[in-house]
Amino acid sequence: MTRQDNDQTPLVISSTRNPLVKRIRGLRHREARASEGVVLVEGLRAIIEAVQVGVKIETLLYAPERLRSDLAKATVEQARKRGAQLVLATPEVLDDLSDRDVSQGIFAIAPRPQHIWEEVPLHVAPFVLGIYEPQDPGNVGTITRTSDGAGAAAVITFGAQGADPFDPKAIRASMGSIFSVPVVELGKTELALRALRDRKLRLVGASDKGIIDLWDAPLLEPTVILLGNERAGLPPNVLERCDSVVRIPLAGHADSLNVAAAAAIFAFEAVRQRR
């Protein structure tokens, strides 16, 4: 067995004790990703998106028999031409690495996207989605995908703690949009709100405590839509700093929506008002 060297035969891994396999397993932990400055990407759709937008993949670990489409093969080849290390593995090894019953047959290690909030472009009448201390990385990824589809300028997370927006589950849920939309962690609440104000954004809080229905809320100005976490929503110290607190009027028996669903409704209402 030999290690990949763009014109040599790739290394084929059949043991879960292989150092690369152990490294990838370790990268499921936030501390390991932060230490290396990388992200772990599982799944073909997210990897295709990453390669298409020019992300420089460091390593691709894959099982050729699981990548049968021409697009999958072209994506691997494009990543190789850009310097990615290609490593083959058996499907069994990849299934062992996956948090699903059966993996899609490919993992990637790539540099962690780096965006500085003050340098994120804010076009005319931009809107941004902000999430306070998100608990579920899958929701962060879904909101990032929504932001991409709606044309939001960025996604920000803030608060003392919360899920890593670059967790493998977030990347998979975003289907690769996390490489297209600037995602920025702004940290502590006070500093985050100040940073948003410094960019001349109106703060609109999404909450069932709001007295303004979403359909009546003005979202045309440069705006950041602030969403609370899955358990408690936005805390009082954030709501009192908002320019307006807005609710989604619900007609049925449900008294709340999943944060990702609420984000989509707010985002596309902002889009509608800009038409």
Tens digit of each residue's pLDDT, the chain (275 residues): 434 445 555 568 999 999 999 999 999 999 999 999 999 999 999 999 999 999 999 999 999 999 999 999 999 999 999 999 999 999 999 999 998 888 999 999 999 999 999 999 998 889 999 999 999 999 999 999 999 999 999 999 999 889 999 999 999 999 999 999 999 999 999 999 999 999 999 999 999 999 999 999 999 999 999 999 988 899 999 999 999 999 999 988 887 889 999 999 999 999 999 98
Residue 10: the pLDDT is: 57
For the chain, domains (ranges, CATH) are: 19-111 (3.30.1330.30), 117-274 (3.40.1280.10)
Residue 154: the pLDDT is: 98
Contact 132, 238 (CB under 8 A): yes
Q: Name residue, tokens 């979403």.
A: 214
Strand partners, 246: 206, 212
3-state secondary structure 235-272: CHHHHCCCCEEEECCCCCCCCCCCHHHHHHHHHHHHHH
Query: Within 10 Å of residue 190's Cβ, how many Cβ atoms?
Result: 12
What pTM did the predictor assign?
Answer: 0.92
